[in-house]
Amino acid sequence: MAVPDSTPDSTSDNTPDSTPPKRRNAWKWVSAALVLVAAGLLVWALTTQSDLDQAQNDVAQLESQAAAAKDTGGDAVAAAQDAYADITQQLGSTNDDLAEVEQKLEQAEQDAAKAQDQTEQAQADADAAQARADAADAKAGVAADCAKAYASALGALTGDGADLDALKGQLQQITSDCKAALTDAGAGS
């Protein structure tokens, strides 16, 4: 039987001088690639979130404008609602679509301003009409008072001993007073 040799074999790999070079671990490269992919996805997600936040801000702004325009006129409300509907449909749209939404928003703002101007003009017209109605009421009141005064003065003719000269003076005074009152009522309009 052969006895094993106890002397170390010079061809063995156990000696420190003959260690093979270290191999690079493939998992390190895969992990680095995954880190890069994750970083890219993070950047993409943040960009998408920023676009979504901007679109939501636009929607919120349009909602507030729509509420304000609702008080000022139907045309502006319809335009703002159309713009709002367009924006809500385009929340996931690209930046190219965002320019179109901004244009519609500007149009809605212009429509709201136009409706506001029309509302202010209508209010001014209503105020003027109310002033004319008040003047007409005042003139009608003066005319009624004058008619009563004439009727009262003419009622004196039915009685005995009517003084025609005094009645004539009274009628002239009533006429003068009525003219002055009607002039004053007309100046208020």
Q: What is the pLDDT of residue 145?
A: 86
Mean pLDDT by 10 residues, the chain (189 residues): 55 57 80 94 94 93 80 66 74 67 87 89 86 83 84 74 78 88 74
Nearest of 71, 79, 63, 185 to residue 122 by alpha carbon: 71
Is the residue at 92 inside a domain? yes
Is the residue at 76 inside a domain? yes
Q: What is the DSSP letter of 156?
A: G
Do 153 and 171 touch, CB atoms closer than 8 A? yes
Is the residue at 59 inside a domain? yes
Is the residue at 144 inside a domain? yes
Is the residue at 94 inside a domain? yes
The DSSP string of 24-85 is PPHHHHHHHHHHHHHHHHHHHHHHHHHHHHHHHHHHHHHHHHHHHHHHH-HHHHHHHHHHHH
62-80 burial, b at 16+ Cβ within 10 Å, e below that, comes to beebbeebeebbeebbebb
Domain tally, the chain: 1
Is the residue at 30 inside a domain? no
pLDDT digits (tens, 9 = 90+) for 60-106: 998 888 777 666 666 665 776 787 777 776 665 666 667 787 888 89
Is the residue at 136 inside a domain? yes
Q: What is the pLDDT of residue 188?
A: 59
Distance between start and end Cα atoms, the chain? 141
Is the residue at 84 inside a domain? yes
Q: Residue 49 belongs to what domain range?
A: 36-187
Q: What is the pLDDT of residue 133?
A: 83
Q: What is the pLDDT of residue 47?
A: 94
